[in-house]
Structure 1
Amino acid sequence: MQTIDFSDFQRIDLRIGTIVQVENFSKARKPAYKLWVDLGDLGIRKSSAQITEVYDLEELIGKQVICVCNFPPKQIADFMSEVLVTGFKNKDGNVVLSTVDFPVPNGEKLH
């Protein structure tokens, strides 16, 4: 594993946001959802996530997730993803979202 300096870590803008809207993303190559995430002062940003094997639409609303906010926007089919929602693969290879144990203000940075 390559090591990085603390200054490298500081360049990554990791923030918490709350999912406020979810839709099926029928035009994605692999099953996915379109997510709208409230990131506080950054506003509501869009993301696409291949998490349909683990999550139902309804259970995602109100979930706080950790996002990378300073990647450039990425066009995915007819949808512009503005942040990267983070997660880890479970034992079945499906992504489980990165979240927090207790609610924190939207837009708060990871320390």
Structure 2
Amino acid sequence: MKKNNPQGTVVFTLSEYTARKIINDLAENHTDRIRWSKHIKERMLERGVTTGQVLALLKSKRSVFREGPYLEINGDWKFNIKGMAAGSIIELSVAIKNHNDNPTSILITVWVH
């Protein structure tokens, strides 16, 4: 894996394994390719979730897929992922764009359980 380019994959459907591999790589090596929606920023403030917690969850190999990944009508793959970060159980809603060759992600919202 090169540090210069994010690692994509060519698949027909995006499996949990492949989605985790992509999001782990983005969180570890390409945080500039993770976009934070206005909505998630507002919910993070409201719910006391830090950027560090969100990134820790995205890097985690122990997080659990609660929904998806499923293909949206616009071509994005969306999923919800849940896990422990800094003593709190949080869940993220994430979309992956261009998963085949130039992946980026958009963080949609966050919940605290």
TM-score under structure 2 length normalisation: 0.30
Larger radius of gyration between Structure 1 and Structure 2 = 1
TM-score under structure 1 length normalisation: 0.30
Where is the helix percentage greater, Structure 1 or Structure 2? Answer: 2
